[in-house]
Structure 1
Amino acid sequence: MSETNITTLPNGLRIVTRLMPGLHSATIGVWVNAGGRDERAEQNGIAHFLEHMAFKGTARRNALQIAEAIEDVGGYINAYTSRDTTAYYARVLEADTALGLDVISDIVLNPAFDQREIEVERGVILQEIGQSLDTPDDIIFDWLQEVAYPDQAMGRTILGPAERVSHFGRTDLSGFVAEHYGAGQMILAAAGAVDHDAIVRQAEQIFGHMPATTRRVRDGARWHGAETRRLKDLEQAHFTLAFEGPGYLAPDYHAAQIWTTAMGGGMSSRLFQKIREERGLCYTIFAQSGFHDDTGMMTVYAGTAAEDIEELANLTVDELKRSVETLSDAEIARAKAQLKAGTLMGLESSSGQTERIARSLAIWGRVPEPAETAARLDAVTRDDLRNYAASLIARRPAMALYGPVERAPSLETLIDRLAA
């Protein structure tokens, strides 16, 4: 039996596990193929609200009993909502894996949606929204997403607007579950000290009664690219610039990872060295890539003084443009090493492994071995990266600015600079 095993139940539920010899703990969870981008406009924020409500009681356990069931055995339970996925997971000792699965499946399949608990959690989420609005280097990414993908679910926030969250009720929550929490939209994943056959047997008992469903086909994301500029008296001017990149399934997916890492993935990256170390224009600057099955986004972020925002923006686009001709073998090798090391380091924990096997199965329908991933990264050439960079910066970007940004150049000015 290989270390990674996959079983699909007759109703479409997929089960994936990875044995990690030497571990005495396991992470087990349910990944639901539903997130912020699956919401209609009037539902914006419901997926995240639902994630919160899962911990507020089921038909068998109240909120305290859910927490106690895991923490009484020294475990840890949590969840998250992204644009593509909602995940519920627990980490427990080997002997408590069955308990972990029982609790996770209980909160996913049997949420009570008690009205009093809905009101309590509504207050918590409204506080979370308020905290985000008070965090410039957090909220600016929501505004960037909005101008990159306007008038569609991909461009809306995961938390949702306060006015929507203030009116969600039990019917809204149960309706989203009925629409998106089918067996075919779920992956049960576990890694660490796990017994695949035992987990499959337990899963058959818990999930086997669910009717067969297929995975939903989403509407494709539509990139637009525009500018939003919000003036406020802050200590720093916050700058973000984004380009549409490839999705997970695109042939230049690995090139996108390497190029982004070389440009802004660490202290040795080009943007960090040129703009922070050589020019002293900021404390923080980085580039990152986000991927979905049908689209992606390469984003640069920096915070700087009001009087430096124009120079920082111009230098940023200059370095992006220069990379088409000057990206060096050393920069490429360093970026590949960072990506390969980061992948391997992340897999040293059962939580990292569980996340990887669940997301891999959701994206590609299989779980590639780390050696395959490394080989694909190694196969990307300097010409591949320069061609990728040239095609990327030829696309229309999106930009979000926040703070004392009166001196920042317009998006059209930066587009002209890239094209010059």
Structure 2
Amino acid sequence: MTVQQHTLANGFRIVSEHMPGLQSSAIGIWVTAGGRHERIEQNGIAHFLEHMAFKGTRKRTALQIAEAIEDVGGYINAYTSREVTAYYARVLQDDVPLALDVIADIVLNPVFDPAEIEIERGVILQEIGQAHDTPDDVIFDWLQESSYRDQPLGRTILGPSERVRAFSRDDLAAFVGEHYGPGQMILSAAGAVDHDALVRLAETLFGHLESKPLRAADAARFTGGETRHAKALEQAHFALAFESPGYRDDAIYTAQIYSSALGGGMSSRLFQEIREARGLCYTIFAQTGAYADTGTTTIYAGTSAEQIGELAEVTFDELARAATDMSPQEVARARAQMKAGMLMGLESPSNRAERLARLVQIWDTVPPLQDTIARIDAVTIENVRGFAEGIAGTAPAALALYGPIESAPTLAQLQDRRAA
């Protein structure tokens, strides 16, 4: 399998990887315009725009967009994250030109029909309401807000209801005009794809676009803090975050191995001590996520009102213990899990296309897969223990609590335990 790249004269980037033996392809456009690129009055508009992409273009109605892909047995979808918005499809090999034509159409030619805007506004408000009714969804929005207070990166992707109610057609068009230039777009494809044919198609569909200045996202600053939302729920929800490396920092591999050993599976420390040995919860996990210039190591658990205090304290005790006795065997297991998860995921052309787009967004190139594996293998027990010492001692922290949390300790109390 060989990764190939090309950049059009206007800055539009194409990356692809042919995967022998496949008869299908994953293809999409990744736009470097997500939640953190919004001004405060725009919060939620990137996600609103993603919804509107499927509501009709100058060439196709909403139904025709869906039929064009589904008539050939494919599917089409989109998502918005804090750093990108993606529009993608999965089709058979012969239908790649059709899929790219449809994706180009919805990205470049949305009509923003006022009637459709009102319909989709209602759908998004329902989505916001559903998120607020899902404790293990909304608590991560509150944790993000506590981690990056008063910054674009700390705001929700869906946006607040009052702003969603106010967005107009002009607002949507203005965001497209500011952020959907050729230099902000990456065409990524994997599977049964022909790179040279993709370049020719891209030249036809996107080569006419005029370059425009790129507006960098505001630099992020992990502030830390606490948010508590008391409510009569069955469970108390506990979410904790620590500042971690961004994805351009080689220490991201250490952070990911640490979080896997700490709470990444059934053999992890948090699972074994808090669920298996003490029975304090059903769900507990740790994970590390990264952005361009910052990242977070996150721990989540759900427990009873009576046990939330003990769960929080034992969690901090486990953080301290990991700094002193994390074993080479645990690091080796976490390293193996990380490599296996990545390699198994890359057997999917959809996952591979997304990875290609993400790497081009980060580095403007795709490092060889073996380089990534080598960086994972290079993480030592000393690296992991050093990172664990920072988490246990000095890394800035954020805490979010939701549900029957009256007996839950404050972040200040947990910080005192951390310092003891």
Tell me if TM exceeds 0.5. Answer: yes
CA distance in 1, matches of 2:271, 2:372: 27
CA distance in 1, matches of 2:139, 2:130: 13
Residue correspondence of structure 1 range 166-185 to structure 2 within 5 A:
166-185=165-184
Q: Which residue of 1 aligns with 2:6?
A: 7
Residue correspondence of structure 1 range 166-245 to structure 2 within 5 A:
166-245=165-244
Q: Which amino acid aligns with 1:352?
A: N
Secondary structure of the 1:11 match is coil
CA distance in 1, matches of 2:210, 2:345: 35
CA distance in 1, matches of 2:64, 2:245: 44
CA shift, 1:222, in A, is 1.3
Q: Which residue of 2 aligns with 1:105?
A: 104
CA shift, 1:349, in A, is 1.1
1:215–1:22 Cα change, 3 Å: farther
Q: Is the 8 A contact 1:185 1:216 kept in 2?
A: no
CA distance in 1, matches of 2:43, 2:191: 35
Q: CA offsets per residue over residues 246-279 of structure 1, 9 Å max, x none?
A: 0001131110110011111111111011100010
Q: Which residue of 2 aligns with 1:313?
A: 312
For the pair 1:402 / 2:402, whether they are aligned, the reply is: yes
Q: Is the 8 A contact 2:88 2:103 kept in 1?
A: yes
Q: Is the 8 A contact 1:52 1:121 kept in 2?
A: yes
Q: Which residue of 2 aligns with 1:322?
A: 321
Q: CA offsets per residue over residues 55-107 of structure 1, 9 Å max, x none?
A: 00000001000000000000010000000000000000001000010000100
Q: Which residue of 2 aligns with 1:146?
A: 145
Q: CA offsets per residue over residues 3-27 of structure 1, 9 Å max, x none?
A: 1000001100110000000000001
Residue correspondence of structure 1 range 17-416 to structure 2 within 5 A:
17-393=16-392, 394-416=394-416
Q: Is the 8 A contact 1:29 1:189 kept in 2?
A: yes
Q: Is the 8 A contact 1:344 1:370 kept in 2?
A: no
Secondary structure of the 1:398 match is strand
CA distance in 2, matches of 1:192, 1:250: 30
CA distance in 2, matches of 1:389, 1:182: 42
CA distance in 2, matches of 1:32, 1:408: 41
Q: Is the 8 A contact 1:24 1:193 kept in 2?
A: yes
CA distance in 2, matches of 1:218, 1:140: 24
For the pair 1:417 / 2:417, whether they are aligned, the reply is: yes
CA shift, 1:370, in A, is 2.5
Secondary structure of the 1:56 match is coil
Q: Is the 8 A contact 1:185 1:213 kept in 2?
A: no
Q: CA offsets per residue over residues 304-356 of structure 1, 9 Å max, x none?
A: 00000000000001111111111111110110111100001111111011001
Q: Which amino acid aligns with 1:46?
A: I
TM-score of the pair, normalised by structure 1: 0.99
Q: CA offsets per residue over residues 107-145 of structure 1, 9 Å max, x none?
A: 001111000100010010000000000001110000111
Q: Is the 8 A contact 1:12 1:213 kept in 2?
A: no
Q: Is the 8 A contact 1:343 1:370 kept in 2?
A: no
Q: Which amino acid aligns with 2:408?
A: A
CA shift, 1:213, in A, is 3.2
CA shift, 1:214, in A, is 4.9
Moved more, 388-397 or 150-159: 388-397
CA distance in 2, matches of 1:87, 1:391: 35
Moved more, 44-53 or 321-330: 321-330
CA shift, 1:395, in A, is 1.8
Moved more, 365-374 or 312-321: 365-374
Q: Which amino acid aligns with 2:371?
A: E
CA distance in 1, matches of 2:242, 2:174: 35
Q: Is the 8 A contact 1:236 1:303 kept in 2?
A: yes
Secondary structure of the 1:126 match is helix
Secondary structure of the 1:281 match is coil
Secondary structure of the 2:243 match is strand
Q: Is the 8 A contact 2:152 2:218 kept in 1?
A: no
CA distance in 2, matches of 1:190, 1:215: 24
Q: Which amino acid aligns with 1:379?
A: A
Secondary structure of the 2:401 match is strand
CA distance in 2, matches of 1:213, 1:192: 31
Secondary structure of the 2:355 match is helix
Q: Is the 8 A contact 1:396 1:415 kept in 2?
A: no
CA distance in 1, matches of 2:335, 2:8: 38
Q: Is the 8 A contact 2:319 2:391 kept in 1?
A: no
Q: Is the 8 A contact 1:147 1:155 kept in 2?
A: yes
Q: RMSD across aligned C-alpha pairs, in angstroms?
A: 0.9
Structure 2 gaps of 5+ residues are none
Q: Which amino acid aligns with 1:150?
A: R
Moved more, 388-397 or 16-25: 388-397
TM-score of the pair, normalised by structure 2: 0.99
Secondary structure of the 1:18 match is strand
Q: CA offsets per residue over residues 182-216 of structure 1, 9 Å max, x none?
A: 10011000000000000000100110000123543
Structure 1 gaps of 5+ residues are none
Q: Is the 8 A contact 2:246 2:291 kept in 1?
A: yes
